[in-house]
Amino acid sequence: MRGMNDMLRQAQIMQKKMTDLQDQLGNRTIEATSGGGMVTVSCTGKQDILSIKIDPAAVDPNDVDMLQDLVLTAVNEAIRQSKAMVEKEMGAITGGMKIPGMF
């Protein structure tokens, strides 16, 4: 029975560390760019988009499709980098164990 209590205690400690990390990740930001820096997107570790900055030189009324593609590319890259950061940080806590629903 002692072994089971130790396992439960370790699980509680891991859960606390994971909860703390999730809170911290909301305060960390990732920046991604596209078009050689024409579009910059800031994203949190919780995949919330904080800002999108567009260089005025990227705004061409005759080529709106290009601007849309640049924004989409930068947003997707910011989210990808954010998810990679979360996975790396969570992996350090869980020892690489994949826990469904956590990340």
Q: Report pLDDT digits (tens) over 8-21.
A: 888 788 888 888 88
DSSP tag of 98 = -
CA distance 102 to 86: 10
pLDDT, residue 12, reads: 85
CA distance 78 to 55: 17
- pTM of the prediction? 0.75
- Identify which of 75, 79, 70 has the alpha carbon closest to the alpha carbon of residue 38: 70
CATH topology of domain 2-94: Ybab; Chain: A; (3.30.1310)
Report how far apart, in Å, the C-alpha atoms of 31 and of each of 14, 35, 95 are.
29, 14, 27
Residue type, 35: G
